[in-house]
Amino acid sequence: MHRSMKIASSSSDSQPRRCWSPTWMQLAALLLAAVALPAAAHGVEESDAAFIQALQGVHLVPWLYLGAKHMFTGYDHLLFLAGVIFFLYRLRDVALYVTLFAIGHSLTLLLGVLGGIHANPWLIDTLIGFSVVYKAFDNIGGLERLRLRIDTRAAVFVFGLAHGFGLSTKLQDLSLARDGLIPNMVAFNVGVELGQLAALALMVLLFQYWRRTASFERVAFTGNAAIMCAGFMLMGYQLTGYFVA
């Protein structure tokens, strides 16, 4: 069962209710923390882009490495995953939600690149930023206050689809050789999953340590509010790009 210490739960699971009273100093601190994060969703570095565009044929290892690097350094993906596992205490719950997310983004990543399904990258990345806002808002009981009941599992899967399209738009901007594209994309997707597992393992360990401290319940609201602010910043950056670029 998806356990949580949210102000109020929006999922169908039974969860204990807690309440935080953040001070103005805490709110100021979380805003500063959010500003310190990079405002743009990650793309493919120029050196990596030049390398993979020069590849011809099947090159599984380079694509696997690039997939892992892309996910492990992706602030937007990591922020969303942090929100997803923030109140998950059991590993089987973490595995369930991360699997739903992985299935979602694997489908749209492969369909986008191999099936030629295009989407506006600015709008897709705006949706990804919104996914970060949504999960943090859910964690602090915002959906419950609005009397919205949304299945968290379905939401994670749907947002996984959006994150996969975000990955595919980065690759669609490049001139990729058609020779060996299918195995290369499969290798890239496997690398994405490996990078996600590595980042997730680190986050789970950090959360488990943090939960043993007295500060966790005291600053959990502030932490989720900081995640939400970072998501709003990502949305603002991408919407600015959409209207200005």
Task: Decide: residue 61, CB within 10 A, 0-12 exposed, 13-18 middle, 19+ buried.
Answer: exposed
Examine residue 3 and state whether it is found in any structural domain, yes or no: no
Query: Cα separations (Å) of 99 from 71, 107, 196?
Result: 15, 12, 11
Examine residue 61 and state whether it is found in any structural domain, yes or no: yes
Examine residue 75 and state whether it is found in any structural domain, yes or no: yes
Examine residue 70 and state whether it is found in any structural domain, yes or no: yes
Examine residue 237 and state whether it is found in any structural domain, yes or no: yes
pLDDT at 42: 54
- Angstrom distance (rounded) from CA 175 to CA 105: 22
pLDDT at 50: 78
Q: Which domain holds residue 166?
A: 45-244
Instruction: State the greatest distance between any 2 C-alpha atoms of the chain, in Å, as a whole number.
Output: 58
Examine residue 163 and state whether it is found in any structural domain, yes or no: yes
Q: What is the DSSP letter of 69?
A: H
Examine residue 38 and state whether it is found in any structural domain, yes or no: no
Q: Is the Cβ–Cβ distance between 166 and 41 less than 8 Å?
A: yes
Contacts of 172 (CB under 8 A, 6+ apart): 112, 113, 118
pLDDT at 43: 61
Block means of pLDDT (10 residues each) for the chain, length 245 residues? 41 41 48 46 67 83 89 87 94 94 94 89 95 96 93 96 91 84 92 92 92 89 92 93 86
Number of compact structural domains in the chain: 1
- Angstrom distance (rounded) from CA 165 to CA 183: 19
Examine residue 126 and state whether it is found in any structural domain, yes or no: yes
pLDDT at 227: 93
